Structure 1
């Protein structure tokens, strides 16, 4: 029975006063499959109903990271067949993100190593979000022709100033200090204290464990770049953002511009529109509803399949975007992504 449990991709059990969830796909850096999403839903149902469970703790198996995102090879293969399975995955994943944000008990997410895309969705909406010094947190979607989702547009839109726009368009990763600064995490627990911290949660309140084991996070690198980031990314068009980045003369801004120019033009323009709209939305639920529309519409984009092909399938790192330039992406094409979907999530 123990061996069968270890073979499961989500391990769930009660340990003292906490329900423990372990993403157990370490060879894939715990990338989420649809079944893993459904298993997390079921485990949260059980823990919510169990009066002996006072809190939930999420960790990832292995040394490489909590979760590197969704299983994007599956996205690639299914999108070529019409995308019905990917739409079903998105529906259940986004509902899970919302469930985590509204979970009635403390939800402690341990964000160690890589925490990307879907990994952000299962951690950064929790009530107690802990990073280690080796955390690398990010939304890499524009690199593969997608738009940030899993509530990422909500988090990015509410980061200080225009830092979220910078992170979304460049797909750069946050350090532990950046993640706290940007509102993706709350506390830093060093690796050499992490095992004791997670063990202590079985016996005490998360707030008490945090007080004992967390340390000051330090100055966020992004905080020192806030001035040029706010100036450049305040523009309403990606083309103007690039112009401002070029004009600063700063090496950091030049690097950002180079990163952006390598991304999908369609994904860039749609991402900027999604972030600007997310700022005006009333809740995470409303942002997830918007993301579901954008993601489902994006399944029909050439760049959805092409970006994953270039980065993950063939690994030639040479995506052939279509349209190939920002000028080729019309306002009508961007607007298409925000049209009502055939079905909604029913969250807002």
Structure 2
């Protein structure tokens, strides 16, 4: 049998570990390690991250925490949606347990007592946004593709999206949530979801610089180390449409947004309307209501509570299972939504997503 020090054995063992946790100098590292699954989050990974935060927060030798994704494709494509689909179909408590612990982790990031650095490189979607957007130092690159695409699978933008997509003036957050549009680095910066741009080719040297900080380094020291590697990003692609987005999405009913897009008739409006027509009508209505509640909310925890309560209805809905079937299982990209049209979605169907949970996240 090969020895435990055999490089091939060591590499194979590392490949089976979903979260690689280590200290490199003054840097506590959390490396999401499911590259073949685009580092999609499992319950085990959520628990690994929670434990790592506890350990790094208590370790006096750790000045900052860094989260990255293994592989070349991105930080994280979201939660393990197949597990949620299978668990929901089977009637197990796995989906609810996952959401409960994931959402609590989202809230935990903002309370971390040390700088939390996130490399939002490549694909950053859904739960991947949740493990990065609450960081103190959020870094995007020329490869960043950030999105909350849940309305396309019969779900809604979660992990606190009704908080972080509503903290800015205007309606860019509403646009991003309803359309699921992929945001470039410049767009993420314009939307307030990231802080600085660092070319992907400089990330390795930035890690070295952060690891070389003294154990007692402050957030300002971390900022200075990052600043030495930053550049100006390419121009935003969606943000230039902000005046139109603010005007066309400034309604509290999805039907009014669609009507405004139709009246406008510009190429951007027509393209946006066509995108909305591919999404679950029920998900669009639930998402917009969550966003409007989030805009009035006083805390991230309140938004997470609303979103967690809404997941109960997700597990009972036709559109979630149909959306995952079309996108992940059969991959025919042809979901048959029910109801099929916005006008057919009833108030009762939407209200089912807004019943308080009997077991709240933050009692």
**Fold equivalence (TM over 0.5):** yes
Q: Residue in 1 aligned with 2:217? A: none
Q: Is the 8 A contact 2:281 2:341 kept in 1?
A: yes
Q: Residue in 1 aligned with 2:266? A: 250
Q: Residue in 1 aligned with 2:91? A: 82
Q: 1:54 aligns with which of 55, 60, 63?
A: 63
Deviation at 1:146, TM superposition (A): 0.3
> Is the partner of 2:233 in helix, strand or coil?
coil
1:187 aligns with 2:196: yes
Deviations 1:254-312 (A, max 9, x none): 11111111111110000000000000000111111111011222111111111000110
Deviation at 1:119, TM superposition (A): 0.2
> Is the partner of 1:214 in helix, strand or coil?
coil
Aligned mates of 2:137, 2:112 — CA distance in 1: 12
Deviation at 1:127, TM superposition (A): 0.8
> Is the partner of 1:337 in helix, strand or coil?
helix
Deviations 1:142-163 (A, max 9, x none): 0000011011121111234111
> Is the partner of 2:298 in helix, strand or coil?
coil
1:283 aligns with 2:303: no
- Aligned pair count reads 347
Deviation at 1:215, TM superposition (A): 1.1
Q: Residue in 2 aligned with 1:333? A: 349
Deviation at 1:5, TM superposition (A): 4.0
Q: Residue in 2 aligned with 1:166? A: 175
Q: Residue in 1 aligned with 2:138? A: 129
Q: Is the 8 A contact 1:67 1:115 kept in 2?
A: yes
Q: Is the 8 A contact 1:149 1:295 kept in 2?
A: no
Aligned mates of 1:273, 1:320 — CA distance in 2: 23
Aligned mates of 1:223, 1:259 — CA distance in 2: 17
1:104 aligns with 2:116: no
Structure 2, gaps ≥5 residues long: 5-9, 214-220
Q: Is the 8 A contact 1:155 1:184 kept in 2?
A: yes
Aligned mates of 1:6, 1:203 — CA distance in 2: 27
Q: Residue in 1 aligned with 2:187? A: 178
Q: Residue in 2 aligned with 1:345? A: 361
My pick for the range that moved more, 65-74 or 155-164, is 155-164
Q: 1:13 aligns with which of 22, 25, 36?
A: 22
Deviation at 1:83, TM superposition (A): 5.0
Aligned mates of 2:318, 2:85 — CA distance in 1: 11
My pick for the range that moved more, 323-332 or 24-33, is 323-332
Q: Is the 8 A contact 2:185 2:234 kept in 1?
A: no
> Is the partner of 1:87 in helix, strand or coil?
helix
Q: Residue in 2 aligned with 1:307? A: 323
Deviation at 1:218, TM superposition (A): 4.8
Q: Residue in 2 aligned with 1:35? A: 44
Q: 1:72 aligns with which of 57, 61, 81?
A: 81
1:216 aligns with 2:232: yes
Aligned mates of 1:292, 1:333 — CA distance in 2: 17
Deviations 1:293-346 (A, max 9, x none): 112221111111110001100011111111111111112221221111121101
Q: Residue in 1 aligned with 2:277? A: 261
Q: TM-score, normalised by structure 1?
A: 0.97
1:145 aligns with 2:190: no
Aligned mates of 2:161, 2:299 — CA distance in 1: 12
Aligned mates of 1:152, 1:197 — CA distance in 2: 29
Q: Is the 8 A contact 1:138 1:173 kept in 2?
A: yes
Aligned mates of 1:66, 1:48 — CA distance in 2: 22
Deviations 1:92-115 (A, max 9, x none): 000111111111100000000000
Aligned mates of 1:203, 1:126 — CA distance in 2: 20
Q: Is the 8 A contact 2:107 2:301 kept in 1?
A: yes
